[in-house]
C-alpha cells in the first residue's frame, strides 16, 4: 500500500549488540556513549537535527545533575543522623559522668566513717555522735539527689497527674518561710518575709511550689555569710494583677555575669560556689517546675553583692474543674534536716603548738563531713590537724604555721586546690611542703592537671582510708630522707649536685647569708630571719623540715663546717679559727666542736686527712 509519506517499519529481527562508539558534542563538552545496533531498528522519515541532539544531551545532563544532587542530599542526611546519634551518646555519657561525680563525696564519707566506727573501739561519745550525724547527713544528701533526678524525669507527665489545690497562697509561703527561718538562724543568717497582701486566692501545686522555694532559699542561705540578711517577698505584679511573684533576695557571694545564662542548665556549677554540696540539679528542677505552672523565673546578680531570683506565676482559677481547697497543716520540717550539728570543733585545731612534736597536717576542705572523715584517719598521738574551709584561708595558715604536709580538696570556694598547690610550690617558704590533692574528678586529664600544678599525690574519691594514710606516711618519710641530702648538698658544698630543687636554693641562700656574717659574733637566728623577711618560727619550721635543724643549730653547723675546712687546710691557732667563725670564747668553741665531732679541734687538726 502506497502512502504520501514514509511509514516507520519495524524490523522483524533484532541483531545482537556488536560494539560501542562515542559521540562527542564539542559545544557542551559532554560525552555520551551510544549503542550501535546492527541492522535498522527504526526507520525514520527524517534526519535528527542538531537541535534535537542538543535537547537530548541537555536532558541527560539534567538527569545526571539531579542524580548527583540526590546522592549529596542523602549523604548529608546520613551525616546529620550520625551527628545526632553521636551527640545523644555524648550527652548521655556526660550526664552519667556528672551523676557519678555527685555520688562520690557522700559515698566516701558514708563508707569511710562507717569503717572507722566499726574499727575504732576507743571513740568518745561526742566523736561517735559527730560521725553518725555526718553519715546521716550524707545519706540524706544522696536521697535528695536521687529524688531530684526522679522529679526531673517525672515532669513529662500530663497535667491530670498533677495534684492541684485551690486556696490562699500567702499562708502556704509563710509556712515554708517559718521552717527555713529556723535553719537560717542556725547558720547565722536572718531570713525575713514581706507581703502586703492579705489574700491571694489561686490554683497552685503545693508540692511544686514547696520545691521551688526550697531550692531558692537553701541556695540563698548556703551562699550567704553569717550576719547577712535574706528577704523573701510575695506580692501581686503591679503591671499585671493576674500574676503574683516570689522574690528571694540575698546578700551572698553573687554570680558572675558570664555564668548567669547557664545557671539553670542541668549539672552546671558556678566556679566560686560550694560545689561539694551543690549538685547542679536544683535550679534546673526549679525552672522546669515553674514552667509547668505556666510561670517564669529570672535572676539578677552581682559578685560580692548578692543575687535576686524572681518567680512570676499566674493567678489562675479553673472554672471547669474544682480542685480541693488547701488548708494549712501542722508545721512540718521541710529541710530534711533538723539542723542539729554536733560539735566537731574538738576534732580540729586552728593553730599548732610550737613545741608540739607531732606531725602537723593542714587540711583544706569546704565540706565539713569530708573533713571529719579525714580527721578520723590519722592518729591524734602522731598527727596534729589544722582545718581550713577554703584555699585562701589555707594559704594564709600555711604561711603562718608551716605544716609538714597539706591535704586539699580540688573544688573549693575562693581559691581551689589546684591554685593552692601552685601557690605553695612557688613559695620559697612553703615549697618543701608536700601537697596531696583529693577530688571527685577522676579523669586522666584531671589527674595530669593536678600533677602539673605540683601535687605530690592525687587521690580520687571515693578513697579508702588506708590509701590516704599510706600516701601521707610515705611522703613524710621521703621528706625525712631528703633532709640529710639537702644538708650535704649545701653545708658540705656538694656542688656537683645539679638538682634544681627549691629547697636546695633556699638553703644555699641561707648558707650564703651565714657565710657573709661568719665573723659577726652577734649574728643570730633572729637576724637571719630578718634578712629573709620571715618570722623566726617560720624560719625554724622551714629549716627543720629541710635539714632537721632549727635555725640556731643550722647556723652552728655551718660555722663548724667552716672551722673544719680551716683546720684541715690552714696553719692557724684554735683561737684564730674560732674568731674566723665569729666565736671569741675559745673554750666554748672547743666544747661545741667536740660535742659535734667527738674530738677536740686540736685532735681534728692532727688527723691525716685534716
Q: Of 314, 337, 357, which one is at a domain's C-terminal end?
A: 314
Same domain, 424 and 537: no
pLDDT of residue 3: 42
Same domain, 359 and 299: no
pLDDT of residue 2: 43
Q: Rounded CA gap, 137 and 135, in Å?
A: 6
Q: Would you tell me how many other CB atoms lie within 10 Å of the CB of residue 389?
A: 18
Grid coordinates given for 59: 536532558
Per cent of the chain over pLDDT 90 is 13
pLDDT of residue 437: 93
pLDDT of residue 30: 38
pLDDT in tens, 14-64: 333 334 334 434 343 333 444 444 444 444 444 445 676 777 778 878 888
Residue with more model confidence, 31 or 391: 391
Compute φ and ψ for 263, nearest 5 degrees: -70, -20
In this structure, what CATH number is given to the domain that contains residue 513? 1.10.10.60
Report if residue 498 sits inside a domain. yes
In this structure, what CATH number is given to the domain that contains residue 440? 3.40.50.2300
Same domain, 304 and 174: yes
Least trusted range by pLDDT, from 21-35, 142-156, 430-444, 515-529? 21-35
CA distance readout (Å), 537 to 306, 403, 428, 529: 40, 12, 15, 9
Residue 567 pLDDT exceeds 60:
yes
Same domain, 303 and 439: no
SS3 406: strand
Tell me the average pLDDT across 104-133: 75
Report if residue 272 sits inside a domain. yes
SS3 33: strand
Same domain, 498 and 352: no
R_g of the chain, CA atoms, integer Å: 41
Residue with more model confidence, 483 or 581: 581
Compute φ and ψ for 19, nearest 5 degrees: -160, 175
Contacts 24+ apart (CB under 8 A), 537-541: 537/354, 538/399, 538/400, 538/402, 538/429, 541/401, 541/402
Residue 70 pLDDT exceeds 80:
yes
SS3 192: strand
Same domain, 577 and 529: yes
pLDDT in tens, 231-274: 999 999 888 889 999 999 998 888 888 888 888 887 666 654 44
pLDDT of residue 99: 65
Domain count, the chain: 3
pLDDT of residue 349: 62
Confidence of residue 405 (pLDDT cuts 50, 70, 90): very high
Confidence of residue 281 (pLDDT cuts 50, 70, 90): confident
Grid coordinates given for 177: 518561710
pLDDT in tens, 282-298: 788 888 889 988 999 99
Q: Rounded CA gap, 567 and 83, in Å?
A: 81
Say if CB 398 and CB 362 are below 8 A apart: yes
In this structure, what CATH number is given to the domain that contains residue 287? 3.30.565.10
Identify the DSSP state of 325: B
Half-sphere exposure of 599 (CA within 13 A, CB side): 10
Same domain, 503 and 446: no
Confidence of residue 87 (pLDDT cuts 50, 70, 90): low
Say if CB 297 and CB 286 are below 8 A apart: yes
Report if residue 367 sits inside a domain. yes
Say if CB 418 and CB 437 are below 8 A apart: yes
pLDDT of residue 528: 87
Confidence of residue 94 (pLDDT cuts 50, 70, 90): low
Same domain, 415 and 499: no
Q: By residue range, what is the domain housing residue 280?
A: 155-314
Q: Rounded CA gap, 530 and 525, in Å?
A: 9
User: Given phi > 0 = left and psi -120 to 50 = alpha, else beta, which region is 533?
Assistant: left
Go through the chain and tell me how many residues it has: 610
Give the end-to-end CA distance of the chain in Å, rounded to a whole number.
144
User: What distance lies between CA 124 and its chain's CA centroid?
Assistant: 34
Residue 334 pLDDT exceeds 50:
no
pLDDT of residue 10: 37
Q: Rounded CA gap, 563 and 561, in Å?
A: 5
Q: Of 291, 314, 337, which one is at a domain's C-terminal end?
A: 314
Confidence of residue 194 (pLDDT cuts 50, 70, 90): very high
Least trusted range by pLDDT, from 59-73, 126-140, 178-192? 126-140
Grid coordinates given for 585: 670564747
Q: Rounded CA gap, 483 and 554, in Å?
A: 12
Q: What angle do CA 547, 549, 553 make, to 5 degrees?
A: 130
Same domain, 518 and 591: yes
pLDDT of residue 8: 38
Q: Rounded CA gap, 10 and 14, in Å?
A: 10
Sorted by sequence, the CB contacts under 8 Å of residue 544 that are 6+ apart come out as 550
Say if CB 543 and CB 432 are below 8 A apart: no
Q: Rounded CA gap, 338 and 322, in Å?
A: 36
Report if residue 417 sits inside a domain. yes
Report if residue 455 sits inside a domain. yes
Please state whether the predicted TM-score (pTM) of the whole model is above 0.85.
no
pLDDT in tens, 429-471: 788 889 999 987 777 888 888 889 989 999 987 778 888 989 9
Q: Rounded CA gap, 191 and 169, in Å?
A: 19
pLDDT of residue 269: 64
Confidence of residue 216 (pLDDT cuts 50, 70, 90): very high
Sorted by sequence, the CB contacts under 8 Å of residue 476 that are 6+ apart come out as 359, 404, 405, 434
Q: Would you tell me how many other CB atoms lie within 10 Å of the CB of residue 540?
A: 20
Tell me the average pLDDT across 200-220: 90
pLDDT of residue 131: 77
Amino acid at each position: 500500500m502506497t502512502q504520501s509519506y514514509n511509514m516507520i517499519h519495524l524490523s522483524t529481527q533484532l541483531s545482537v549488540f556488536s560494539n560501542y562508539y562515542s559521540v562527542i558534542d564539542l559545544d557542551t563538552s559532554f560525552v555520551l556513549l551510544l549503542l550501535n545496533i546492527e541492522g535498522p531498528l527504526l526507520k525514520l522519515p527524517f534526519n535528527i537535527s542538531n537541535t534535537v541532539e542538543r535537547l537530548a544531551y541537555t536532558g541527560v545532563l539534567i538527569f545526571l545533575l539531579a542524580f548527583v544532587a540526590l546522592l549529596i542530599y542523602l549523604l548529608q542526611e546520613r551525616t546529620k543522623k550520625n551527628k545526632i546519634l553521636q551527640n545523644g551518646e555524648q550527652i548521655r555519657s556526660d550526664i552519667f559522668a556528672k551523676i557519678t561525680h555527685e555520688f562520690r563525696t557522700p559515698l566516701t564519707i558514708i563508707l569511710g566513717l562507717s569503717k572507722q566506727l566499726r574499727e575504732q573501739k576507743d571513740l568518745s561519745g561526742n566523736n561517735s555522735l559527730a560521725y553518725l550525724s555526718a553519715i546521716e547527713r550524707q545519706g540524706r544528701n544522696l536521697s535528695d539527689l536521687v529524688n531530684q533526678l526522679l522529679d526531673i524525669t517525672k515532669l513529662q507527665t500530663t497535667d491530670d497527674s498533677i495534684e492541684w489545690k485551690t486556696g490562699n497562697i500567702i499562708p502556704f509561703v509563710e509556712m515554708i518561710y517559718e521552717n527555713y527561718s529556723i535553719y537560717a538562724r542556725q547558720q547565722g543568717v536572718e531570713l525575713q518575709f514581706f507581703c502586703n497582701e492579705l489574700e491571694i486566692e489561686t490554683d497552685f501545686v503545693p508540692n511544686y511550689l514547696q520545691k521551688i522555694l526550697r531550692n531558692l532559699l537553701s541556695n540563698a542561705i548556703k551562699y550567704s555569710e553569717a550576719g547577712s540578711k535574706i528577704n523573701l517577698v510575695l506580692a501581686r505584679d503591679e503591671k499585671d494583677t493576674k500574676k503574683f511573684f516570689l522574690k528571694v533576695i540575698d546578700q551572698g557571694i553573687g554570680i558572675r555575669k558570664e555564668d548567669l545564662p547557664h545557671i539553670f542548665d542541668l549539672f552546671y556549677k558556678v566556679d566560686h560556689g560550694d560545689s561539694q554540696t551543690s549538685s547542679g540539679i536544683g535550679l534546673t528542677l526549679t525552672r522546669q517546675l515553674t514552667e509547668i505552672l505556666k510561670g517564669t523565673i529570672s535572676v539578677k546578680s552581682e559578685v560580692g553583692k548578692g543575687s535576686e531570683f524572681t518567680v512570676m506565676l499566674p493567678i489562675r482559677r479553673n472554672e471547669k474543674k474544682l480542685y480541693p481547697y488547701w488548708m494549712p497543716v501542722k508545721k512540718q520540717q521541710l529541710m530534711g534536716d533538723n539542723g542539729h550539728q554536733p560539735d566537731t570543733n574538738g576534732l580540729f585545731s586552728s593553730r599548732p603548738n610550737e613545741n608540739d612534736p607531732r606531725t602537723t597536717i593542714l587540711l583544706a576542705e569546704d565540706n565539713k563531713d569530708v573533713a571529719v572523715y579525714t580527721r578520723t584517719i590519722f592518729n591524734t598521738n602522731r598527727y596534729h590537724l589544722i582545718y581550713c574551709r577554703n584555699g585562701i584561708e589555707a594559704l594564709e595558715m600555711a604561711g603562718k604555721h608551716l605544716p609538714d604536709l597539706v591535704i586539699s580538696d580540688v573544688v573549693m570556694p575562693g581559691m581551689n586546690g589546684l591554685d593552692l598547690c601552685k601557690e605553695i610550690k612557688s613559695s620559697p617558704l612553703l615549697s618543701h611542703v608536700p601537697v596531696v590533692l583529693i577530688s571527685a574528678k577522676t579523669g586522666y586529664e584531671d589527674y595530669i592537671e593536678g600533677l602539673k600544678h605540683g601535687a605530690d599525690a592525687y587521690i580520687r574519691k571515693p578513697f579508702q582510708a588506708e590509701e590516704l594514710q599510706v600516701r601521707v606516711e610515705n611522703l613524710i618519710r621521703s621528706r625525712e630522707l631528703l633532709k640529710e641530702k639537702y644538708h650535704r648538698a649545701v653545708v658540705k658544698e656538694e656542688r656537683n649536685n645539679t638538682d634544681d630543687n627549691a629547697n636546695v636554693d633556699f638553703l644555699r641562700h641561707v648558707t650564703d647569708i651565714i657565710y657573709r656574717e661568719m665573723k659577726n659574733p652577734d649574728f643570730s637566728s633572729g637576724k637571719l630571719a630578718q634578712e629573709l623577711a620571715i618570722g623566726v618560727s617560720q624560719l625554724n619550721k622551714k629549716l627543720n623540715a629541710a635539714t632537721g635543724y632549727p635555725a640556731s643549730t643550722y647556723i652552728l653547723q655551718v660555722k663548724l663546717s667552716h672551722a673544719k675546712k680551716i683546720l684541715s687546710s690552714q696553719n692557724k691557732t684554735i683561737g684564730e679559727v674560732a674568731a674566723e667563725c665569729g666565736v671569741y670564747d675559745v673554750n666554748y668553741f672547743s666544747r661545741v666542736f667536740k660535742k659535734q665531732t667527738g674530738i677536740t679541734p686540736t685532735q681534728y687538726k692532727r688527723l691525716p686527712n685534716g
